Amino acid sequence: MAIIETSQLTRTYGRHRGVEGLSLNVPRGSVYGFLGPNGAGKTTAIRVLLGFLKPNNGSAVVLGRDCWRDGQVIKQDVGYLPGDLRLYPWMTGEAALKWVGQVRRCDVMQHGRDLSQVFGLDLSRLVREMSRGTRQKLGLVMAMAHKPKLLILDEPTTSLDPIMQQRLHRRLRNMADNGHTVFFSSHSLSEVDRLCDRVAIVREGKLVTEQPLVSLRAEAGHRVTVRWKDDAAAEKEPPPFLKLSQREGRMWAGELDGPVDRFVSWLSGQPIEDLTVGPPDLEALFHHYYENGGEA
């Protein structure tokens, strides 16, 4: 069952673009990556999902309820970390956590303290004295302390150091394994590659593709290098599914379009000295989507 479902969701700001005809389907218990370059409409989509913005058209349903009408009920089971996090400067970490518990009418202190330990966060400090990274950690703790069914994170790792990013990724994976759903926007490809089960890519407010990461990996090309045993073999025409970027003497280097086994079959029986096949080049694929919207 989908925990987030949008259908032809459109939200624009006058002449400015927000999101247009966005249809998403986020399955329960998944880590869902929402990717796109800056200004692609990721934050706008998240704000519609949280009921901050009213859609111009289409529908947005979270946990089976309408985002605009039932925002209050939905948010009981949602944790949210804004992209540009600002907290009340007069609060300490402890007070912020206590305040979240009071507003949510539930005890979040114990789990909040556990999470603070995971992220190495000192709860006794005032928000105004915290660095950006520390505030981000506090924001994460505040969003996760009530063990939400759905966690919406808008570029959560922006100001975290690599060790904290790793800890957060482990935590998110762990949550998803326990049936929680994580929806997070990012423009970091490596992060999505490491963490996500499913990915949606948006560009200029429109959905470019939405599929499991496994399919994306299959779609992504592989970097290959072939070293031939003789000159005659090296001079022949490459197969149509291999785009050569380098051809020097007996060495070919290029990008493979499609599955590896097709290339291996083509090579069989030919005089090769060495063959290297790299992992799926997701970065190139993402760039392709970012720049061309998936069109060749």
Partner 1 sequence: MNRGLIAKSIRELWPATLLCGMLAAAFEGLIAFILPRYEQEMSLQILDMEFVRRIIEGMLGSRIADQIGPEIIGSIPWAHPIMLSLVLAHAVICCTRLPAGEVDRGTIDVTLGLPISRWQWMFTDSVVWVVSAMIVIAMALSGHLLGASAGGGRPLGLQQGALIIANLSGLYMAVGSGAWLLSSLSDRRGKAITATFVLIVVSFLVSYLEQFWEPARFAAWFSALSYYRPIMILRDGRWPVRDLCMLYGAAAVLWSCAAVVFTRRDLCTT
Residue ranges binding partner 1 (CB under 8 A): 47, 50-54, 71-76, 78, 80, 82, 84-88, 90, 99-105, 139, 142-143
Considering the complex, state which of residue 92 and residue 222 has its C-beta at the smaller distance from partner 1: 92
Tell me the closest approach of the beta carbon of residue 9 to partner 1, in angstroms: 15
Instruction: Give the closest residue to 141 by CA, choosing from 106, 103, 108.
Output: 108
Considering the complex, state which of residue 91 and residue 260 has its C-beta at the smaller distance from partner 1: 91
Chain-centre distance for alpha carbon 132: 21
Tell me the closest approach of the beta carbon of residue 186 to partner 1, in angstroms: 18
Tell me the closest approach of the beta carbon of residue 42 to partner 1, in angstroms: 13
Considering the complex, state which of residue 81 and residue 168 has its C-beta at the smaller distance from partner 1: 81
Class of residue 136 by CB neighbours under 10 A (exposed 0-12, middle 13-18, buried 19+): buried
Q: What would the two tokens of residue 12 be?
A: 């624009």
Q: How far apart are CA 184 and CA 199, in angstroms?
A: 10
Q: How far apart are CA 268 and CA 264, in angstroms?
A: 6
Q: Could you tell me the sign of the dihedral formed by the alpha carbons of 208, 185, 147, 115, in that order?
A: positive
Q: How far apart are CA 187 and CA 194, in angstroms?
A: 13
Tell me the closest approach of the beta carbon of residue 156 to partner 1, in angstroms: 13
Q: What would the two tokens of residue 49 be?
A: 């999902």
Q: How far apart are CA 50 and CA 48, in angstroms?
A: 5
Give the DSSP H or E segment for 114: helix 109-118
Per DSSP, 69 falls in state: T
Tell me the closest approach of the beta carbon of residue 48 to partner 1, in angstroms: 10
Tell me the closest approach of the beta carbon of residue 1 to partner 1, in angstroms: 22
Tell me the closest approach of the beta carbon of residue 125 to partner 1, in angstroms: 17
Q: What would the two tokens of residue 287 be?
A: 């760039």
Considering the complex, state which of residue 143 and residue 201 has its C-beta at the smaller distance from partner 1: 143
Considering the complex, state which of residue 13 and residue 266 has its C-beta at the smaller distance from partner 1: 13
| Mode of pairing for the β-strands spanning 150-154 and 78-81 | parallel
Q: How far apart are CA 117 and CA 243, in angstroms?
A: 50
Per DSSP, 68 falls in state: T
Considering the complex, state which of residue 75 and residue 250 has its C-beta at the smaller distance from partner 1: 75
Considering the complex, state which of residue 78 and residue 192 has its C-beta at the smaller distance from partner 1: 78
